Amino acid sequence: MTLKIYRSGEDILLKKCRKQDSQAQKELYNTYASTMLGVCCRYIKDFDQAEDVMIGGFVKVFDRIGQFKGEGSFEGWIRRIMVNEALTYIRKNKKMYLEVDIEAADREPNYRTLDSELEANDLLKLVQQLPTGYRTVFNLYAIEGYSHKEIAEQLGISENTSKSQLSRARVLLQKQLLKTEQMLNQNMK
């Protein structure tokens, strides 16, 4: 009796990519490019620059694909590379100045007052309008799930600075959301 091992499509694709099969690399790129471009765009406002970062990230993915051991999701592994590429870009090119003041924000946002009509894309646009430091910490914490300790290590800041940046980002988002809601309510009258 022989035992057959069935591989998933992703496993087969990864195996081919490890052998530098260009068709498999193209398929992998086409599968994940739009998602990963979205990740890069959350950190980098300029679309062309975000696309450049994503392409650089895929170069790293293909160079390091042998390092993926199948622990966790492959998409999560790629996402981590893209986030790191975006952070590297910000550090090198944007001269991101994170405020080191650790004052608490004036008040905690009240998200219950917001209109449920806002779409995810609207929220992402508001996040894009945040200053670079606030946006970076907000994305890492709220979207990517990093801890303040991990953010501090990634950005070379203190944990308190990370917490302060997140708090201020939330306050700015709250103000932007309330302003958007007021405009929506005025347009409905």
pLDDT digits (tens), the chain, 189 positions:
444 444 578 889 999 999 999 999 999 999 999 999 999 999 998 899 999 999 999 999 999 999 998 888 899 999 999 999 999 998 887 554 444 444 433 434 444 444 444 566 677 788 888 898 899 999 999 888 999 999 988 888 899 999 999 999 988 988 888 887 777 777 766
Q: Considering the domain 9-94 in this protein, what is its CATH number?
A: 1.10.1740.10
Per-residue pLDDT, 120: 64
**Within this chain, domains 9-94 and 111-188 share the same CATH topology:** no
Per-residue pLDDT, 119: 63
Per-residue pLDDT, 11: 87
Q: What is the dihedral of CA 109, 111, 113, 117, to 10 degrees?
A: 140
Please report, for residues 69, 75, 186, the alpha-carbon distance to residue 139 in angstroms, rounded to integers and kept in the order given: 26, 17, 30
Nearest Cα residue to 45 out of 126, 137, 148: 126
| pTM: predicted TM-score of the whole model, two decimal places | 0.69
Q: Domain boundaries in the chain? A: 9-94, 111-188
Whether the Cβ atoms of residue 62 and residue 79 lie closer than 8 Å to each other: no
Q: What fold is seen in the domain 111-188?
A: Arc Repressor Mutant, subunit A (1.10.10)
Rounded to 10 deg, the angle between the 148-155 and 159-188 helix axes is: 110
Per-residue pLDDT, 1: 47
